[in-house]
Chains A and B, each alone.
Chain A
């Protein structure tokens, strides 16, 4: 087991090295670059050439890459050129990470809290009005572009009704204390209840927009799983044994149906982070997704490199954990 684990960890290092090289080369192969963003329309050919030389962008790509790796190994991921000029990419990451986590958590809670009960009841009342309406709404959830839904939600609930703030993360006049960077938690910790409530209100619309796709997926998987389980022999047996309907539903149907649902929720968390790019941009919500959108527009290499590489590392580590757990469960895997 130890040898297997070491082997997999070494593979991980190789994967990350290749990944970082590909990412580095890809970003620099994109048209444009930080020189355009820094100099703008005042640039001359000479000023571009000088700046490129000053930033080392005129050196061969492998030389640039070697320097980049050297800096990373010393913990320097570079300074932002566009998202927050002058701040280190690492600072930007840690400042924005809590924002995206707050948003993603609320979105997944909404998706689960609405998707599972609705899926369950839709399955139990198959072909009823509730079932058909739910299926249609889940289809809409998948089909409607997030940005359209986002603008619509803002228009109705912020502009027309004035119930919720249209964008941002917290009202500008609150003078809230920052402790952890999780604004709701900070409000609770410092007993600034108005700040916590305000941060929560700012989360509602973007979280609903972000939750639509996971909601649709969770709903459909729950519905399908419950339908499958309802037809299982053991459910029929339970009924025959005279168990009450609530015991059958709670202990036998829902619990067994939850296995694929839980797996799906796990997969959706990754998709949520991807969906956050668009949602955060439209809601001017200062999280990692917005940083990626602005970073891409301004060709902010340091920020893009760190954010994309971190996402890739998380993905690879999750896969590694799964592989290692398979190895624990099934010894045959270790010998392959």
Chain B
């Protein structure tokens, strides 16, 4: 046997040293696993775990500071509002408030609260908690008043805050007794009490908000920083409690709230963030997720054939062809705008570009909203009429910049390119010169549309709740809107919308909206409504009782796994 050489000895020494280091480090790292597969705080039921593929990361877990659907999808499971929406509809229904009534002029709303409800931190939900929540919303300061941070407050109960710099719809909150609370608004609005079902106005634990500094949102550099409450300690009364957000693995885990006042079956609800749509589909096919939202309509048939449950929601949205009057004077002429409506073959678009269940829009609200005017007929496809109107208006040589968005699909617009292509061809047939301009959704499209650089553009809306104002008020409620009608009929139309919204008598209000819808379509036509298109969500066969919501606001507490 030859004696070991110096270099061999060195190698052995290095190996021994590496082994020792590895052992030392191994001894230092403890597994943090608890009883990970059992829901904390209670008897293990057999509800199982559902994993849902989310298209993006939530912005925050404090819904008051959120604006995006991915955030609301998660927070909707953690929190309850005073009211909610009847499953499968957009109609308001009791939640933390069991009943409510308003005074005759619709400015004071008294809510009778559910008793015995507790927040996830064990504190009581009661009238004091309700007023603490509204006080917190109203008292926002600094960055908390930013358009992108408290968007829903500004759009619905604001725009002002308690500093009085701007007026607000919200007036105050009064505790009548532990289970009775009165909310006051400065003027009657059709939006009450539906807006209280928006996730942004969910009830959050006052104790947890104080403990984790919930109002400490700050503008920092190009963005906003959020407090620990919004990032790690969301505390509501909902069916699921926040468990953890594993950012390294892009998953959010919620566990069943054993003390929930309603029914809940699942042990755990996991949201797995998968930004790529094909990756979501393949995860479903591989069985590693149980469902995802907005499958492309082109995939519906194949998914069904593969045994998946494609659940088509009622179409509670609108796609419209926007018209901006600012840079193209011809578009200020109603005859020209009507010519656009006659030129577009919307039946064809609905049949060839949109999924099963889509319909031609006759006005800017879907037919499930009370103020829908059933007498209105869609502008028929009539190229000759379009040509004659253009000639009459002296716009036979009309040329338009027509914008369409790339890198996006929306529930109301599954394939922007094809829809644009159809409309472009229709417009060219009546002699309109189309200059197509495409930009990424967040890469200039929304900027250009909102800053009135587009003559024509494709855009739409999914309703938040079942009121007329949520549609036409959002589009035309302000004289300075993206259609740039400020120089023509913007103020007139906006005043009429505000008047209808403020009418406390429901029957009268509905009639006012019906009339308004007729006027918008016949006398103003600030844009051309195209279609209502049903978005879908897809789940594996084992997912039962998930009720598709027209608001795309599904609640997972109804879900059972077979």
Contact = CB atoms under 8 A, between A and B. Distances in A.
B219 A85 contact: no
A215 interface: no
A322 B155 CA distance: 58
Interface residues of A, number: 84
A173 interface: yes
Category for how many chain B residues contact A = 35 or more
Nearest to B221: A78
Given A51-B148, A166-B286, A81 B222 contact: yes
B67 A42 contact: yes
Given A168-B250, A172-B270, A175-B37, 7 more contacts: A32-B445, A40-B67, A43-B446, A86-B59, A188-B26, A282-B278, A283-B279
A45 B56 CA distance: 26
Interface string B213-252: 0000001111111100011000000000000001111110
Nearest to B439: A31
- Which of A39, A83, A165, A166: most chain B Cβ within 10 A? A166
Most chain A Cβ neighbours within 10 Å, of B25, B58, B60, B442: B442
Nearest to A32: B443
Interface stretch (B28-36, B346-354, B500-508): B28-36
B257 interface: no
A189 B25 contact: yes
A240 B220 CA distance: 74
Contacts of A99: 248
Contacts of B448: 31
A284 B251 contact: no
B146 A51 contact: yes
Contacts of B58: 85
Nearest to B155: A42
A55 interface: yes
A171 B287 CA distance: 12
A134 interface: no
A286 B248 contact: yes
B276 interface: yes
B307 interface: no
B51 interface: yes
Contacts of B224: 79, 81, 86
A35 B151 CA distance: 13
A174 B249 CA distance: 11
Interface stretch (A121-129, A150-158, A229-237, A311-319): A150-158
B467 interface: no
Contacts of B221: 55-56, 67-68, 71, 76, 78-79, 302
A31 B37 contact: no
Contacts of B51: 172
Nearest to B252: A172
A95 B245 CA distance: 13
Contacts, number: 240
B482 A45 contact: yes
A302 B282 contact: no
A22 B46 CA distance: 57
3 tightest A-B CB contacts, nearest first: A31-B444, A175-B36, A189-B29
A28 B221 CA distance: 14
B278 A151 contact: yes
A265 to B, nearest CB: 23
B481 interface: yes
B288 interface: yes
Contacts of B56: 294
Given A38-B67, A86-B224, A172 B253 contact: yes
Given A168-B274, A189-B29, A281-B275, A47 B147 contact: yes
Interface centre among B26, B223, B247, by most A CB within 10 Å? B223
A36 interface: yes
B300 interface: no
Contacts of A78: 220-223
B48 to A, nearest CB: 10
Contact of A191 (B31, B37, B147): B31
A282 B443 contact: no
A95 B286 contact: no
B250 A36 contact: no
B223 A34 contact: yes
B31 A173 contact: no
Contact of B282 (A37, A45, A81, A158): A158
Interface in A250-268: none
Given A80-B223, A81-B222, A286 B250 contact: yes
A298 B460 CA distance: 20
A86 B61 CA distance: 11
B496 to A, nearest CB: 19
Interface in A281-336: 281-284, 286, 290, 293-294, 297-299, 301-302
Interface string B104-142: 000000000000000000000000000000000000000
B91 interface: no
Contacts of B143: 54
Contacts of B523: none
Contact of B147 (A51, A165, A171): A51
Interface in B29-72: 29-34, 36-37, 49, 51, 56-60, 67-68
Nearest to B478: A44
B272 interface: yes
Contacts of B273: 284, 286
A86 B225 contact: yes
B219 A32 contact: no
A46 B251 CA distance: 36
A177 B478 contact: no
Contact of A48 (B37, B219, B450): B450
B257 to A, nearest CB: 19
A293 B276 CA distance: 11
A190 interface: yes
